[in-house]
Protein backbone atom coordinates (compact mmCIF):
# COMPACT_ATOMS: atom_id res chain seq x y z
CA UNK A 1 0.00 0.00 0.00
CA UNK A 2 1.03 3.62 -0.41
CA UNK A 3 3.04 5.27 2.34
CA UNK A 4 0.67 7.59 4.23
CA UNK A 5 1.00 10.42 6.72
CA UNK A 6 -1.98 10.83 9.02
CA UNK A 7 -2.96 13.85 11.07
CA UNK A 8 -5.59 13.85 13.81
CA UNK A 9 -7.78 10.99 14.96
CA UNK A 10 -10.88 9.40 13.42
CA UNK A 11 -14.01 11.21 14.54
CA UNK A 12 -17.59 12.06 13.63
CA UNK A 13 -16.63 13.57 10.28
CA UNK A 14 -15.43 11.42 7.37
CA UNK A 15 -11.65 11.34 6.91
CA UNK A 16 -10.12 13.72 4.39
CA UNK A 17 -7.75 12.27 1.80
CA UNK A 18 -5.32 14.79 0.24
CA UNK A 19 -3.74 13.66 -3.03
CA UNK A 20 -0.61 15.53 -4.11
CA UNK A 21 0.44 16.35 -7.65
CA UNK A 22 3.35 15.38 -9.88
CA UNK A 23 6.80 15.55 -8.18
CA UNK A 24 5.10 16.14 -4.82
CA UNK A 25 4.54 14.11 -1.66
CA UNK A 26 2.18 13.88 1.25
CA UNK A 27 4.73 15.88 3.25
CA UNK A 28 4.21 18.91 0.97
CA UNK A 29 0.71 19.21 2.41
CA UNK A 30 1.79 18.98 6.05
CA UNK A 31 0.76 22.45 7.22
CA UNK A 32 -2.66 22.39 5.54
CA UNK A 33 -3.26 18.78 6.62
CA UNK A 34 -2.44 19.57 10.27
CA UNK A 35 -4.72 22.60 10.31
CA UNK A 36 -7.63 20.70 8.74
CA UNK A 37 -7.17 17.83 11.22
CA UNK A 38 -8.89 19.87 13.94
CA UNK A 39 -12.24 18.61 12.59
CA UNK A 40 -11.40 15.22 11.04
CA UNK A 41 -8.61 12.78 10.40
CA UNK A 42 -6.51 13.84 7.41
CA UNK A 43 -4.66 11.27 5.33
CA UNK A 44 -1.89 12.41 2.98
CA UNK A 45 -0.38 9.55 0.95
CA UNK A 46 2.74 9.54 -1.18
CA UNK A 47 1.60 8.49 -4.63
CA UNK A 48 3.39 5.60 -6.37
CA UNK A 49 6.82 6.64 -7.70
CA UNK A 50 6.86 9.52 -5.19
CA UNK A 51 8.09 10.02 -1.63
CA UNK A 52 8.39 6.85 0.42
CA UNK A 53 5.89 4.83 -1.63
CA UNK A 54 6.77 1.97 -3.96
CA UNK A 55 8.11 2.45 -7.48
CA UNK A 56 6.29 0.96 -10.45
CA UNK A 57 6.63 0.93 -14.23
CA UNK A 58 2.90 1.71 -14.44
CA UNK A 59 1.77 5.24 -13.66
CA UNK A 60 -1.66 5.49 -15.27
CA UNK A 61 -4.69 7.00 -13.56
CA UNK A 62 -6.60 3.70 -13.12
CA UNK A 63 -3.52 2.37 -11.25
CA UNK A 64 -3.32 5.47 -9.05
CA UNK A 65 -7.07 5.42 -8.37
CA UNK A 66 -6.74 1.79 -7.27
CA UNK A 67 -3.97 2.79 -4.84
CA UNK A 68 -6.19 5.50 -3.35
CA UNK A 69 -9.11 3.08 -3.01
CA UNK A 70 -6.86 0.79 -0.94
CA UNK A 71 -5.92 3.66 1.37
CA UNK A 72 -9.54 4.73 1.90
CA UNK A 73 -10.65 1.15 2.58
CA UNK A 74 -7.79 0.68 5.04
CA UNK A 75 -8.99 3.76 6.94
CA UNK A 76 -12.61 2.63 7.10
CA UNK A 77 -13.85 4.86 4.20
CA UNK A 78 -15.65 6.48 2.55
CA UNK A 79 -13.72 9.76 2.59
CA UNK A 80 -13.83 13.33 1.39
CA UNK A 81 -11.07 13.81 -1.19
CA UNK A 82 -8.92 16.76 -2.27
CA UNK A 83 -6.62 16.29 -5.25
CA UNK A 84 -4.24 18.74 -6.91
CA UNK A 85 -3.11 18.50 -10.55
CA UNK A 86 -2.04 14.87 -11.19
CA UNK A 87 -3.60 14.03 -7.83
CA UNK A 88 -6.80 15.74 -8.94
CA UNK A 89 -6.98 13.52 -12.02
CA UNK A 90 -6.34 10.42 -9.89
CA UNK A 91 -9.06 11.57 -7.46
CA UNK A 92 -11.51 12.11 -10.34
CA UNK A 93 -10.86 8.61 -11.69
CA UNK A 94 -11.35 7.23 -8.16
CA UNK A 95 -14.72 9.02 -7.87
CA UNK A 96 -15.82 7.83 -11.32
CA UNK A 97 -14.82 4.19 -10.82
CA UNK A 98 -15.40 3.76 -7.05
CA UNK A 99 -18.05 6.38 -6.22
CA UNK A 100 -19.03 4.55 -3.03
CA UNK A 101 -15.66 5.50 -1.52
CA UNK A 102 -15.98 9.27 -2.09
CA UNK A 103 -18.34 11.64 -0.26
CA UNK A 104 -17.25 15.01 -1.58
CA UNK A 105 -14.53 15.83 -4.07
CA UNK A 106 -12.39 18.95 -4.43
CA UNK A 107 -10.33 19.13 -7.61
CA UNK A 108 -7.57 21.74 -7.41
CA UNK A 109 -6.59 23.37 -10.71
CA UNK A 110 -7.01 20.52 -13.17
CA UNK A 111 -9.71 19.25 -15.54
CA UNK A 112 -10.53 15.75 -16.86
CA UNK A 113 -8.88 16.52 -20.21
CA UNK A 114 -5.53 15.84 -21.90
CA UNK A 115 -2.93 18.61 -21.70
CA UNK A 116 -0.35 19.57 -24.28
CA UNK A 117 2.35 21.02 -22.04
CA UNK A 118 4.96 18.51 -20.89
CA UNK A 119 6.57 18.40 -17.46
CA UNK A 120 9.69 16.62 -18.75
CA UNK A 121 11.79 19.78 -18.41
CA UNK A 122 11.61 19.43 -14.61
CA UNK A 123 12.83 15.83 -14.76
CA UNK A 124 15.78 17.08 -16.82
CA UNK A 125 16.36 19.83 -14.25
CA UNK A 126 16.45 17.37 -11.35
CA UNK A 127 18.69 15.00 -13.30
CA UNK A 128 21.10 17.89 -13.89
CA UNK A 129 21.82 18.27 -10.17
CA UNK A 130 25.18 16.79 -9.18
CA UNK A 131 24.01 14.99 -6.04
CA UNK A 132 27.58 14.09 -5.03
CA UNK A 133 28.18 17.81 -4.45
CA UNK A 134 25.02 18.28 -2.34
CA UNK A 135 25.51 18.40 1.43
CA UNK A 136 22.48 20.51 2.31
CA UNK A 137 19.24 21.43 0.58
CA UNK A 138 20.51 24.90 -0.33
CA UNK A 139 23.27 23.28 -2.42
CA UNK A 140 20.65 21.59 -4.58
CA UNK A 141 18.58 24.78 -4.79
CA UNK A 142 21.67 26.67 -5.99
CA UNK A 143 22.15 24.15 -8.79
CA UNK A 144 18.47 24.03 -9.72
CA UNK A 145 18.30 27.82 -9.91
CA UNK A 146 20.41 27.70 -13.07
CA UNK A 147 17.61 25.89 -14.93
CA UNK A 148 14.49 26.54 -12.80
CA UNK A 149 14.24 30.27 -11.98
CA UNK A 150 11.00 29.94 -9.95
CA UNK A 151 11.97 29.91 -6.25
CA UNK A 152 8.71 28.18 -5.26
CA UNK A 153 9.49 25.28 -7.60
CA UNK A 154 13.11 25.08 -6.44
CA UNK A 155 11.93 24.63 -2.86
CA UNK A 156 9.15 22.25 -3.92
CA UNK A 157 11.42 19.91 -5.87
CA UNK A 158 14.11 19.75 -3.18
CA UNK A 159 11.55 18.54 -0.65
CA UNK A 160 11.80 15.23 -2.54
CA UNK A 161 15.56 15.04 -2.03
CA UNK A 162 17.00 12.42 0.33
CA UNK A 163 20.10 14.25 1.53
CA UNK A 164 21.44 11.32 3.53
CA UNK A 165 21.24 8.86 0.63
CA UNK A 166 21.96 11.57 -2.00
CA UNK A 167 19.05 10.54 -4.19
CA UNK A 168 15.70 11.81 -5.41
CA UNK A 169 12.64 10.23 -3.80
CA UNK A 170 11.07 10.24 -7.24
CA UNK A 171 11.22 7.56 -9.91
CA UNK A 172 12.37 10.05 -12.53
CA UNK A 173 12.93 7.40 -15.21
CA UNK A 174 9.51 5.83 -14.66
CA UNK A 175 7.72 9.19 -14.59
CA UNK A 176 9.46 10.26 -17.80
CA UNK A 177 8.41 7.03 -19.47
CA UNK A 178 4.79 7.41 -18.35
CA UNK A 179 4.50 11.16 -19.01
CA UNK A 180 2.01 10.68 -21.91
CA UNK A 181 -0.39 8.93 -19.48
CA UNK A 182 0.12 11.61 -16.82
CA UNK A 183 -0.73 14.39 -19.28
CA UNK A 184 -3.79 12.57 -20.62
CA UNK A 185 -7.06 11.50 -19.03
CA UNK A 186 -8.47 7.98 -19.51
CA UNK A 187 -11.68 7.38 -21.43
CA UNK A 188 -14.08 6.41 -18.63
CA UNK A 189 -17.74 5.55 -18.94
CA UNK A 190 -18.70 6.71 -15.48
CA UNK A 191 -20.40 9.46 -13.52
CA UNK A 192 -20.07 10.79 -9.98
CA UNK A 193 -23.27 12.28 -8.60
CA UNK A 194 -21.83 13.62 -5.35
CA UNK A 195 -20.82 17.24 -4.64
CA UNK A 196 -17.69 18.39 -6.49
CA UNK A 197 -15.79 21.68 -6.32
CA UNK A 198 -13.36 22.64 -9.07
CA UNK A 199 -11.13 25.17 -7.30
CA UNK A 200 -8.74 26.89 -9.68
CA UNK A 201 -5.98 29.47 -9.53
CA UNK A 202 -7.30 32.84 -10.65
CA UNK A 203 -4.26 33.33 -12.90
CA UNK A 204 -4.01 29.71 -14.07
CA UNK A 205 -5.10 28.43 -17.48
CA UNK A 206 -5.50 24.77 -16.50
CA UNK A 207 -9.31 24.86 -16.11
CA UNK A 208 -10.94 26.76 -18.98
CA UNK A 209 -14.60 27.59 -19.77
CA UNK A 210 -14.48 25.16 -22.69
CA UNK A 211 -13.76 22.31 -20.25
CA UNK A 212 -17.04 22.73 -18.39
CA UNK A 213 -19.23 20.60 -20.64
CA UNK A 214 -16.81 17.68 -20.29
CA UNK A 215 -16.62 18.23 -16.53
CA UNK A 216 -20.41 18.23 -16.14
CA UNK A 217 -20.71 15.04 -18.17
CA UNK A 218 -18.68 13.29 -15.48
CA UNK A 219 -19.69 15.45 -12.51
CA UNK A 220 -23.23 16.84 -12.93
CA UNK A 221 -23.13 18.60 -9.52
CA UNK A 222 -19.82 20.37 -10.22
CA UNK A 223 -19.32 23.85 -8.83
CA UNK A 224 -16.56 26.22 -9.89
CA UNK A 225 -14.53 28.73 -7.90
CA UNK A 226 -11.27 30.62 -8.32
CA UNK A 227 -8.67 31.71 -5.79
CA UNK A 228 -7.65 35.23 -6.85
CA UNK A 229 -3.97 36.02 -7.27
CA UNK A 230 -2.83 32.41 -7.58
CA UNK A 231 -1.50 30.21 -10.35
CA UNK A 232 -1.37 26.45 -10.65
CA UNK A 233 0.22 26.00 -7.18
CA UNK A 234 -2.71 27.75 -5.49
CA UNK A 235 -2.43 25.81 -2.21
CA UNK A 236 1.24 26.80 -1.83
CA UNK A 237 0.73 30.41 -2.89
CA UNK A 238 -2.26 31.13 -0.61
CA UNK A 239 -2.52 28.24 1.87
CA UNK A 240 -4.89 29.97 4.31
CA UNK A 241 -7.32 30.95 1.57
CA UNK A 242 -7.12 27.46 0.10
CA UNK A 243 -7.80 25.95 3.52
CA UNK A 244 -10.78 28.27 4.02
CA UNK A 245 -12.24 27.21 0.65
CA UNK A 246 -11.88 23.53 1.54
CA UNK A 247 -13.51 24.05 4.95
CA UNK A 248 -16.41 25.99 3.45
CA UNK A 249 -17.14 23.34 0.84
CA UNK A 250 -16.87 20.41 3.27
CA UNK A 251 -19.20 22.10 5.75
CA UNK A 252 -21.98 22.71 3.24
CA UNK A 253 -25.22 20.87 3.92
CB 97 within 8 A of CB 34: no
Active-site residue flag, 85: yes
- Of the candidates 37, 232, 235, 245, the residue annotated as catalytic is 232
Beta strands in 67-194 (DSSP E): 79-84, 102-108, 161-162, 167-168
Count other Cβ atoms within 10 Å, centred on residue 179. Answer: 16
- Of the candidates 58, 150, 173, 205, the residue annotated as catalytic is 173
Q: Distance (Å, rounded) from C-alpha 215 to C-alpha 223?
A: 10
- Of the candidates 85, 160, 204, 245, the residue annotated as catalytic is 85
Active-site residue flag, 173: yes
Q: What are phi and psi of 24, to 5 degrees?
A: -100, -165
Active-site residue flag, 118: no
Q: Which helix (H) or strand (E) holds 69?
A: helix 61-74
Of the chain, the end-to-end C-alpha distance in Å amounts to 33
Mind telling me the catalytic residues? 85, 173, 232
Amino acid sequence: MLNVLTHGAPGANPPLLIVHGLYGSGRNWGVIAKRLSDERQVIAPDMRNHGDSFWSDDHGYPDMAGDLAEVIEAHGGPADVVGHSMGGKAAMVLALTRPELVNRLIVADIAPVPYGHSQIQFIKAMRSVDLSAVEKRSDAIEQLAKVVPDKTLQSFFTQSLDLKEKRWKLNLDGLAQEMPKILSFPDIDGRFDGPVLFLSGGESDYVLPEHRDRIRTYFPKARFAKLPGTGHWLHAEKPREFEASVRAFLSMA
